[in-house]
Amino acid sequence: MYQASRKHRKAFSLIELVIVIVIIGVISAIAIPRMTRGAQNAGATALKGSLSVMRSSIELYRTEHDGKFPTATSVATALTAYTKIDGSDANATPDVSSGRIYGPYVRKIPPLPVGLKKNSTGIAATDRPGVGWIYEETTGDIKANCADTELDQDGVKYNTY
């Protein structure tokens, strides 16, 4: 008789298993939505970070080049190479004797972290969504080249950041 009751004590009862499953379910119901929100917002956070880097680089270029912004056709080269004070003669190596001492301001142009073509890089002057960045040389403004229908989790258009 003693052995039978001892053997019975080694197993979990059905009620104990149900309680454990309910506790795991409650914890999952709390944790999963929090983790999902973070993953959904990752693209927006990456976009804000890339825009901050690009805007700071453009402002630094402007400061060192007598208030001039890089041109739209050469902005990627101007930000990633050494240039002269007038922005010309972009090259990967500096040359003090020729005056090519300004820059580089970023190592490479960051890829667009959101949009239809997320792995595209570079600066696009087109209206094709998801391809790089849109740069306005008269104001130095840069923004994501995303369609108006592409929104973050708060409903804000990526192209208005």
Q: Is 81 among the domain residues?
A: yes
| Pairing state between β 141-144 and 133-136 | antiparallel
Q: By three-state DSSP, how is residue 144 classified? A: strand
Domains of the chain: total: 1
pLDDT tens sequence across 135-157: 999 999 999 988 888 888 888 99
Q: Is 36 among the domain residues?
A: no
- Radius of gyration of the CA atoms of the chain, in A: 27
Question: What is the pLDDT confidence band of residue 125, given thresholds at 50, 70 and 90?
Answer: very low
The C-alpha atoms of residue 71 and residue 58 are separated, in whole angstroms, by 11
Handedness of CA 92, 96, 101, 106 (dihedral sign): positive
Token digits of residue 31: 């944790």
pLDDT number for residue 123: 52
**Structural domain that includes position 103:** 45-160
pLDDT number for residue 12: 76
pLDDT tens sequence across 29-88: 888 877 766 666 788 889 999 999 999 999 999 999 999 999 888 889 999 999 999 988
Q: Is 92 among the domain residues?
A: yes
